[in-house]
Amino acid sequence: MNFDALFDHIGQHTVDGLAKGAIYALVALGYTLVYGVLRLINFAHSEVFMVGTFAVMWTWIGIGAGNTPSIGIAILLLVLGGLVGAAASGGTAVLVELVAYRHLRRKNAPSLVFLITAIGVSLSLTEIFGIFTGNGERKIQGMPTILNQSIAIDFLGVEITNLQLIVLAAAFLMMIGLDQFINKTRYGRGVRAVAQNPDTAALMGVNKDRVIVLIFALGGLMAGVAAVLWNMRYGFTRFDIGFVIGLKAFTAAVLGGIGNLRGALVGGLLLGVIEVYFATLTASKWEDVFAFIVLVVVLMFRPTGLLGESLGRARA
Amino acid sequence: MTANENTVTKKKKRSFADRWNGLPGWSRFFWIMGGVIFLFYLPELGNIPGTNLEIPGLGFLRTDVGVGGSDWDSILFRCAVFVLIALGLNVVVGLAGLLDLGYVGFFAIGAYSVALFGSQQSPVVKLLRANFDLAPDWALAWSWCILLAIVLTMFSGVLLGWPTLRLRGDYLAIVTLGFGEIIRIIARNSTITGGPDGITAIPGPEGAPNAQNKYFSILDQKWWYWLALVAVLVVILAVRRLENSRVGRSWLAIREDEDAAAVMGVHGFKFKLWAFAIGAAIGGLSGLLFASQQAFIDPSQFNVNLSILFVAMVVVGGAGNMAGAALGAILLTYLPERLRSLGALEFLPERFQDPAEFRYLLFGLAMVVVMILRPQGLLPSKRRARELKDRAQEVPVNG
Amino acid sequence: MSRKFARSLGGVIAAAALVLGAAACQKEGTGTNEAAKCEGKIAFMGALTGADAGAVLPSRDAAKLAFKKFAAANPNCKVELVEFDTQGDPAQATPVANKIAPDASFIGVIGGAFSGESKATMPIYEAAGLVMVSQSATNPDLTKTGNKSFHRVNGNDTTQGEAAVKYFKDTVKATKVFVIDDGSTYGKGISDVVKSGLGALKAGEDTVQKAQANFDATISKIKGVAGVDAIAFAGYTGEGAPLLKQIRAAGITVPFVGFDGVYDPAFASGAGTAAEGAIVTCPCIPAEKAGGTFAADFKAEYGKDPGAYTAEGWDAATVFLSGFKAGKVTRADMLAWVDAYNEQGLSKKIKFDATGEVDKANVVVWAYEIKGGVLTPKTEIKLG
């Protein structure tokens, strides 16, 4: 264990970890929203993210974006990418709900059945993108670099790059926006009502189906934003990219307390930091092992995650 | 509601199970024996042993008929091993109602216990030889490896279950998922496990893999299938006994309502741990069979997708029912293999003619369709089906 | 006799009658091939679907092209390339091998594409007397087991590792090399050779994971070692391209050397502008140096440039095809043919030694540089 490498640059590792975790957090929101309302692990959410990365990539390539355009065009591309990504991911998530989950809910199927359906959906989407994109070569697909990485802030030797800053800022903004939406708007009240007690909410005139479509759309929207940030930062995508991100995001959601919006943020950021710390201490190959061990330890002491779980209860 | 239910049952055709129970004992025995004989006959499916005759139609089911197919005996063996896994996982998921997404971890531990202690090539065997003054060709005998695999997996089941079984269902899922990953990552990144290169020359019942072995040859997989089949039958008998015992009833009680079960004096944690350990042992046994037949394992064969596939087998087939879980395992193993040798579908445009390329897409879609049409699984357990029907009637307002 | 009894007995009888009655038709006799006819099948075994298919499909395409050209030039030869998908999974490869082995119409196997599946299946092929010619299984251990069936037209990890060490010492003149691998059989195999070959020149190391996308930790390790003047990456495109991109984005400009796992157009396109100047070593002769029209033909056929192991895929197919042409249509003859094979191939001069390895003297390792997104031959690394 190389403690010197960790503690000599602890600030830098923390920043790296936070920026890494911010993307987990955005994807984790999708798991948390759906779980908070439906008590259901939407395993297909990883593919919702994957679809977003492809949509953004095609948009950028489609409008002929070159490498490192001027700052104005870059911002335009990012915003446009964000909109397209959010629409594509949101649309995919809603489609999954309408095609698959809705029928199961009608039958009040147990959660295991949702899980397997989600896995089926996930497999189908992965295969569709594997077969029909990139000549069916199943390789990574690159895209233009929209923004060159540069040091934006250098604070006491801790270097924060512009990309990291954008990722963090966007994640926090989306998070605050979502939190406000859920807590302040009429729609948000509906979501909270259904999360707390679906039957009572229905009696009070909340249209449950509409709320459910809404949460899938919101989760997809967050994944779409995560997708554009991913593309900006890493500049590639692949048909099976969702799996690892989905796994990490789900872990993050559980770590923070699944069903809790702020928990997803805390869990995502924390997971990113843990991974970077342990990758620095040992080798990158061990980071997942430590991430899961930390998860188990946290769950032993706080069985519902760091911030507790309920979407409804937390703000009731 | 009871009256309502009765009329429903009366109108319905008599179910298969009712008819089955109505048969006289000797007839049931006859059918079971017939079924078992048929299972042993399967490697010859389509042919009449000892003759050059074939039964039309049946041969079509084999996976080795078309171009690009795979060996039928090997696929039968894999089906049998995955049935074994599904039976083990069914104890955990179907009977005790615990969602275990890391079952591949036990499968891997079982496989690695025979690989690491039984193979001449294994670093562990070499280490033991060097340190304990053993013969230069020493390795643990295969029969001892079985015991070792079962003990090790039961132990790891308890080790994993002890801290985590107090968690609620969905949390358990992610923790077990992590466990499966940890096992794989350790196997891949340690030198003592052979690292990413894996372990070769894993022994079987007749010792090291060899084409000259009389029964368990690397060329002819029939005996491997029969061995796995025997294991499946033994496990079915054992789990049946368990299901109808106090332990089995406790599992059902926990699955249906843990709090109510606790009030009735069923010690939830203890029985959950038992389910975990027993399920793990069966997983270990199947891992051992798998490794022995393959004669080679590496960590890439034990990734998370496999865990998820295992759960899918149980649920698609019908959680809680052994026949269902077995059917799920067979279908999910067999279908992709059969699809690969379907031959070109010439009525489709050229881009879509090769079913091998699309088999996992079809597989994914089939999973979704089956779950939407039959959420209780293809062959649900009776009790489970009743639970589901109950739930369906509880569907709230606008559901 | 009760109704119940009648029904159950009837059922049993009906089932028995069905089985017996159906037995009527005669099984088709399996005709034995005339030995002299130019006819036979070659199996191609590798990952054609799944996450790892990208590394195998180009060589499959090359082999297919070779068969197509052969069929056009030799209309009398009925040779067929039959594809078997393993998804790179040894567990899926063994049933395939057990299907190929007893089928006498198969005379040879191209593959396994990966080392794991090769390891799992080569005892089966050996027992069946079938010769394997792999285009891309690089693990050095594969030829050390005494297996008579296994041959490969590609250089192994040791060769490439040694070549890379030489390149670092002689061409880059590096003094501090940071070695990264992906923990796979392939990556670890090469990085072990590189690390031991570099000795004191190795300044640091990290092992990344499959499908990893964020390499911040690796990058801070590189930055943590003062004066790193070269980076080696042993792994595949999927991790290599994002790694290189992030290394360059972080302002590290030292030479980056990858191996044939990233000898792949997708590497350059995945890493984008960051790929400029990166070095990829590959035990393969540049297409234009090999003579012939392979690169142009491949492009004409598939509309894309040759990728990883395409030349090797072509070579493996050619070894068999020339065997057919010489009238080797039994397994034993083909095995003897492959053992004695000595021809100039596309990737190198192909002559196998007793272990099935291409003679080390014939292995040519080239360093390619990525220029304008294209792998351009830079220099040959002379071994020994």
| Residues of chain C positioned with their CB less than 8 A from the CB of B111 | none
Q: Distance from C222 to chain B by nearest Cα, in Å?
A: 21
Q: Is B30 on the interface with C (CB under 8 A)?
A: yes
Q: Is A205 on the interface with B (CB under 8 A)?
A: no
Confirm whether B204 is domain-assigned.
yes
The model's pLDDT over A96-137, given as tens digits with 9 standing for 90+, comes to: 999 999 999 888 888 888 888 998 999 999 999 988 888 777
Nearest CA in chain B to C84: B68
Residue ranges matching CATH 3.40.50.2300 in chain C: 39-155+288-352, 158-282+366-381
Nearest CA in chain B to A208: B398
Bigger pLDDT: B332 vs C110 = C110
Query: Residues 153 to 172 of A: which have CB under 8 A from any C CB?
Result: 161, 163
For chain B, the chains sharing at least 3 beta-carbon pairs closer than 8 angstroms are A, C
Q: How far apart are the two ends of chain A, measured CA to CA in Å?
A: 45
CATH code for the part of the protein at C39-155+288-352: 3.40.50.2300
> Chain-wide mean pLDDT for chain C?
85
Confirm whether B236 is domain-assigned.
yes
| Residues of chain B positioned with their CB less than 8 A from the CB of A136 | 357
**A131:B357 CB<8 A:** yes
Task: For residue C147, give Cα distances in angstroms to C43, C123, C125, C128, C151.
Answer: 19, 7, 9, 12, 9
- High-pLDDT (> 90) share of chain C, %: 46
Q: Is B396 on the interface with C (CB under 8 A)?
A: no
Query: Residues 225 to 244 of A: which have CB under 8 A from any C CB?
Result: 230, 234-236, 238, 240-241, 243-244
Confirm whether A143 is domain-assigned.
no
Q: How many domains does chain A have?
A: 1
The CA distance from C285 to C287, in Å, is 6
**C237:A139 CB<8 A:** yes
Instruction: Considering only the beta carbons, identify the residue of B74, B197, B294 that sits closest to C141.
Output: B197
Residue C20 has a pLDDT of: 45
Q: Which of C18, C99, C126 to mutate to probe the B interface, most B CBs <10 Å?
A: C99
Give the residue carrying structure tokens 């939406």.
A181
Range of the domain at A76: 3-135+151-314
Looking at mean pLDDT, say which of A306-310, B330-334, B384-388, C32-36 comes out highest: B330-334
Q: Is B356 on the interface with A (CB under 8 A)?
A: no
Residue C347 has a pLDDT of: 81
Confirm whether B240 is domain-assigned.
yes
pLDDT band at A310 (very low <50, low <70, confident <90, very high): low
| Residues of chain A positioned with their CB less than 8 A from the CB of B166 | 303
Range of the domain at B176: 71-304
| CB contact burial A133-162 (16+ within 10 A = b; e otherwise) | bbebbbbbbbbbbbbebeeeeeeeeebbbe
Q: How many domains does chain B have?
A: 1
Confirm whether B222 is domain-assigned.
yes
Confirm whether B291 is domain-assigned.
yes
pLDDT at A68 over 90: no
Whether B36 contacts B44, CB under 8 Å: no
Q: Which of C57, C87, C96, C207 to mutate to probe the B interface, most B CBs <10 Å?
A: C96
Residue A245 has a pLDDT of: 92
Task: For residue C287, give Cα distances in angstroms to A230, C290, C374.
Answer: 36, 5, 13
Q: Specify the CATH number for the domain of residue A113.
A: 1.10.3470
**A116:B175 CB<8 A:** no
Residue A16 has a pLDDT of: 94
The CA distance from B110 to B146, in Å, is 8
* Residue B397: DSSP 8-state: T
The model's pLDDT over C186-221, given as tens digits with 9 standing for 90+, comes to: 899 899 999 999 999 999 999 998 888 999 999 999
Residue C33 has a pLDDT of: 44
Confirm whether A145 is domain-assigned.
no
pLDDT at A201 over 60: yes
Nearest CA in chain B to A112: B315
What 3-state DSSP class applies to C203? Answer: strand
Largest separation between any pair of C-alpha atoms in chain B? 75
pLDDT at C17 over 60: no
The CA distance from C105 to C125, in Å, is 14
Which of A95, A129, A164, A80 is closest to A242 using CA atoms?
A129
Structure tokens, C125: 């092929």
Query: Residues 172 to 211 of C: which have CB under 8 A from any B CB?
Result: 183-185, 187-189, 207, 209
Query: Residues 330 to 349 of B: which have CB under 8 A from any C CB?
Result: 337, 340
Determine whether C46 is exposed, middle or buried from the number of CB atoms within 10 Å of its CB (0-12, 13-18, 19+): buried
Query: Residues 261 to 320 of C: which have CB under 8 A from any B CB?
Result: none
Confirm whether B127 is domain-assigned.
yes
Nearest CA in chain C to B33: C12
Q: Distance from C178 to chain A by nearest Cα, in Å?
A: 13
Instruction: Considering only the beta carbons, identify the residue of A8, A161, A235 that sits closest to C272.
Output: A235
Residue range A274-293: mean pLDDT, rounded: 91
Predicted model pTM: 0.88
Query: Residues 88 to 117 of C: which have CB under 8 A from any B CB?
Result: 88-92, 94-99, 101-102, 115-116
Structure tokens, A185: 């708007």
| CB contact burial B102-140 (16+ within 10 A = b; e otherwise) | bbbbbbbbbbbbbbbbbbbbbbbbeebbeeeeeeeeebb
Confirm whether B40 is domain-assigned.
no
Q: Is C30 on the interface with B (CB under 8 A)?
A: no
* Residue C352: DSSP 8-state: B
Q: Is A250 on the interface with B (CB under 8 A)?
A: yes
Structure tokens, A56: 């953004």
| Residues of chain B positioned with their CB less than 8 A from the CB of C15 | 34
pLDDT at A177 over 80: yes
Q: Is C27 on the interface with B (CB under 8 A)?
A: yes
The model's pLDDT over C116-128, given as tens digits with 9 standing for 90+, comes to: 899 999 999 999 9
**B185:A115 CB<8 A:** no
pLDDT band at A273 (very low <50, low <70, confident <90, very high): very high
Q: Is A244 on the interface with B (CB under 8 A)?
A: no
Looking at mean pLDDT, say which of A83-92, A153-162, C275-284 comes out highest: A83-92
**A284:C207 CB<8 A:** yes
pLDDT band at C30 (very low <50, low <70, confident <90, very high): very low
Structure tokens, A173: 């903004």
**C220:A9 CB<8 A:** yes
Nearest CA in chain B to A252: B174
Confirm whether A294 is domain-assigned.
yes
Residue C5 has a pLDDT of: 52
- Mean pLDDT for each 10-residue chunk of chain B (399 residues)? 44 67 85 91 82 77 78 93 95 88 94 94 91 88 94 94 81 87 92 90 88 84 94 94 91 86 88 93 96 92 87 88 92 84 64 69 88 86 74 56
Half-sphere exposure of B208 (CA within 13 A, CB side): 11
Residue range C35-63: mean pLDDT, rounded: 84
Nearest CA in chain A to C245: A234
Residue range A254-282: mean pLDDT, rounded: 92
Q: Is C340 on the interface with B (CB under 8 A)?
A: no
Confirm whether B259 is domain-assigned.
yes
Residue B135 has a pLDDT of: 86
| Residues of chain B positioned with their CB less than 8 A from the CB of C94 | 74, 293-294
Residue C8 has a pLDDT of: 53
Whether C321 contacts C79, CB under 8 Å: yes
Query: Residues 302 to 341 of C: which have CB under 8 A from any A CB?
Result: 304
- Beta bridge partner(s), residue C40: C79
Residue range A282-288: mean pLDDT, rounded: 89
Query: Residues 178 to 217 of B: which have CB under 8 A from any A CB?
Result: 178-179, 181-182, 185-186, 188-189
CATH of C158-282+366-381, one of 3.40.50.1110, 3.40.50.11540, 3.40.50.2300, 3.40.50.620: 3.40.50.2300
Nearest CA in chain A to C183: A285
